[in-house]
Amino acid sequence: MTDGNIISIEGIARRYPAPGGKGKSTTIFENLWLGVRRGEFVCTIGHSGCGKTTVLNILAGLDAPSEGTVIVDGQAIDGPSLDRAVIFQSHALLPWLSVQGNVAFAVRSRWPDWSAARIEEQARRFIALVGLAGSERKRPAELSGGMKQRVGIARALSIEPKILLMDEPFSALDALTRGTLQDEARRICMETGQTTYMITHDIDEAIYLADRIVLMTNGPGARVAEIVENPLPRDRARTDLYRHPSYYPLRNHLIEFLVTRSRTLRDAPADGWDPRHPPVVRPGAHPELVPGEPSLHSVPNALSA
């Protein structure tokens, strides 16, 4: 499955000892297969307990699968690496360091032989990239929540990782700040070609950011139910999303999955379901908009916007 993919998740499972022991275990997920192409932005959606964060931690090298393997750029993951940067839900800044100091700390870890001047230049470049030029000397206590998260993004990008892993990084922010940082994240990833894997509970966030959306069934015993290819143009703008004819079919499809199918498909997979090759769908794709692509109409549901 590694051909053409910078990330190749191959048959991984995660099991934990069940309460009471006696050799029993609880399977959070099993037989997960997924490839991520270089420069692609992939979001995973699923209910709490399906193992989304565990998958991300395995990609980061912070956890290990009970079986299976994950290959990144041709090498099996064996612990954390500066080739894989993580942006967590909390900014996790060092409070005694300035904005410049926090980012420079990461740069120095990545390139310990660089001169102080080169480290400072690299840090300043990425601080400016996230719109914080002029705030280099401020400490975290002087920053708003959104500014702190920008520093976290700058720190992750400053080491120029092969993979950017994002664990619901905007979930704790107010709606306006969250939207602004989503815009920044999309702009940066588009401009730099950054490969990104993100988990989220926010359907609209996934629609706006992702090239593909991975849908996981409920846990325990979760599985990848299907992979949704985003039919919206890559150069999409937030203000124009709802005008696109594929927007509501896509949104309805995701809502319908979370409301009903995420539960039923765990217990009764669709006929012919193959864990190595989960169904790939493109809700709302119109032949006149996407030549050669079949159209998939949205599933009617009571939550249609």
Residue 227 pLDDT > 60: yes
Residue 292 pLDDT > 70: no
Strand partners for 14: 29
The mean pLDDT of 251-263, rounded to a whole number, is 93
Check: CB of residue 126 under 8 Å from CB of residue 149. no
Strand partners for 197: 42, 165
Instruction: Give the pLDDT score at 303.
Output: 33
Instruction: Give the pLDDT score at 176.
Output: 83
Instruction: Give the pLDDT score at 70.
Output: 95
Check: CB of residue 225 under 8 Å from CB of residue 278. yes
Lowest mean pLDDT among 131-145, 152-166, 280-294: 280-294
Calculate the average pLDDT of the chain: 87
CB proximity list for 85: less than 8 A, separation 6 or greater: 155, 156, 157, 159, 161, 163, 164, 165
Residue 250 pLDDT > 90: yes
Work out the pLDDT band at 286, boundaries 50, 70, 90: low
Instruction: Give the pLDDT score at 295.
Output: 36
The mean pLDDT of 290-301, rounded to a whole number, is 37
Check: CB of residue 60 under 8 Å from CB of residue 197. no
Alpha carbons 159 and 154: distance in angstroms, whole number? 9
Query: pTM of the full predicted structure?
Result: 0.87
Question: Nearest CA to 121 among 135, 102, 107, 138?
Answer: 107
Residue 192 pLDDT > 90: no
The per-residue pLDDT for range 88-140, each reduced to its tens digit, is: 887 789 999 999 999 999 999 999 999 999 999 999 999 998 889 999 999 99
For 74: left if phi > 0, alpha if psi spans -120 to 50, otherwise beta; the answer is: left
- SS3 state of residue 87: strand
- 237 burial (CB, 10 Å; 0-12 / 13-18 / 19+) is exposed
The per-residue pLDDT for range 34-93, each reduced to its tens digit, is: 999 999 999 999 999 899 999 999 999 999 999 999 999 999 998 999 999 998 887 789
Alpha carbons 112 and 134: distance in angstroms, whole number? 26
Residue 296 pLDDT > 60: no
Alpha carbons 36 and 194: distance in angstroms, whole number? 12
The DSSP-derived string for 9-43 is EEEEEEEEEPTT-TT-EEEEEEEEEEEEETT-EEE
Instruction: Give the pLDDT score at 287.
Output: 44
The mean pLDDT of 266-280, rounded to a whole number, is 86
Share of the chain above pLDDT 90, in %: 56
| Structural domains present in the chain | 5-83+161-281 (3.40.50.300)
More confident residue, 303 or 243: 243
Mean pLDDT is highest, among 251-255, 260-264, 276-280, for 251-255
More confident residue, 8 or 169: 8
Check: CB of residue 212 under 8 Å from CB of residue 179. no
Instruction: Give the pLDDT score at 3.
Output: 60
Instruction: Give the pLDDT score at 21.
Output: 63
Work out the pLDDT band at 271, boundaries 50, 70, 90: confident
Residue 226 pLDDT > 70: yes
Lowest mean pLDDT among 193-202, 239-248, 269-278, 296-305: 296-305
